[in-house]
């Protein structure tokens, strides 16, 4: 798991790598920059894995890099994110789709969020439960935002369903939910949904 502030540190490392004149210098920058950026796993190996990947990237051994953005909802973006995560998933078309079990889902990927969206449920964040950790916003800035000094908010009811599901699963206090329109209350952030 990355520590808070890692995005800025990664950007600084990228700048330093781009200023190097050799692969050896780039590897050194990547190894030095990765120290302390990754929480060790139970065996203490996360830092070593990150450094190993950094060395492979600098040596050109990882092939062509794919950038996976956190906002796009087209099939190509879903495919790029799956590749970036090392996942093999079957993608459907955009819009409303039907799974093999007969259940409807919204967008190219079949998951709990895409099924909830297809059912007409409303994406919400319980403001009483939110701890302002920013995990949701780190997954997709199209759908979630954490305003300075405030609780996380839902900006839109539609977006990358894979990343919405990732945000729901990553939330440390499980305050992100899909719920029926009649269940939405004042303490639920529900951007993009007009209550009756």
Report residue 72's pLDDT band, with 50, 70 and 90 as the boundaries.
confident
**pLDDT (tens digit, 9 = 90+) per residue, 102-116?**
999 999 999 999 999
What percentage of residues in the chain have a pLDDT greater than 90?
Answer: 45
Between CA 162 and CA 1 the distance in angstroms is 19
Asked whether the predicted pLDDT for residue 117 surpasses 50, the reply is yes
Residue-range domains of the chain with CATH: 6-58 (no CATH), 96-189 (3.30.70.20)
Q: What's the confidence (pLDDT) of residue 61?
A: 62
Q: Quick check: 68 and 84 in contact, CB under 8 A?
A: yes
R_g over Cα of the chain:
19
Q: What's the CA angle centered on 94, arms 91 and 100, to 5 degrees?
A: 50
Report residue 119's pLDDT band, with 50, 70 and 90 as the boundaries.
very high
Report residue 36's pLDDT band, with 50, 70 and 90 as the boundaries.
very low
Asked whether the predicted pLDDT for residue 57 surpasses 70, the reply is no
Q: What's the confidence (pLDDT) of residue 136?
A: 95
* Tally of CB atoms within 10 A around 158: 14
Asked whether the predicted pLDDT for residue 65 surpasses 50, the reply is no
Q: What's the confidence (pLDDT) of residue 28?
A: 61
**pLDDT (tens digit, 9 = 90+) per residue, 122-153?**
999 999 999 999 999 999 999 999 998 899 99
Left (φ > 0), alpha (ψ -120 to 50) or beta: where does 137 sit?
alpha
* Tally of CB atoms within 10 A around 96: 13
């Amino acid at each position: 798991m990355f520590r808070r502030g890692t995005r800025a540190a990664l950007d600084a490392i990228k700048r330093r790598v781009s200023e190097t004149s050799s692969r050896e210098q780039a590897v050194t920058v990547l190894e030095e920059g990765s120290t302390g950026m990754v929480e060790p796993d139970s065996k203490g190996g996360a830092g070593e894995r990150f450094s190993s990947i950094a060395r492979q990237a600098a040596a050109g051994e990882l092939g062509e890099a794919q950038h996976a953005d956190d906002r796009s909802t087209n099939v190509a973006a879903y495919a790029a994110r799956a590749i970036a995560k090392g996942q093999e998933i079957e993608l459907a078309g955009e819009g409303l789709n039907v799974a093999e079990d007969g259940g409807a889902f919204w967008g190219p990927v079949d998951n709990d969020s895409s099924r909830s969206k297809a059912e007409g449920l409303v994406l919400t964040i319980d403001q009483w439960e939110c701890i302002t950790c920013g995990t949701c916003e780190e997954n997709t800035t199209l759908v979630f935002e954490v305003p300075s000094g405030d609780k996380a908010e839902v900006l839109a009811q539609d977006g990358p369903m894979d990343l919405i599901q990732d945000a729901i699963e990553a939330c440390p206090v499980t305050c992100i939910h899909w719920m029926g329109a009649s269940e939405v209350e004042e303490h639920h952030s529900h951007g993009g949904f007009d209550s009756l």
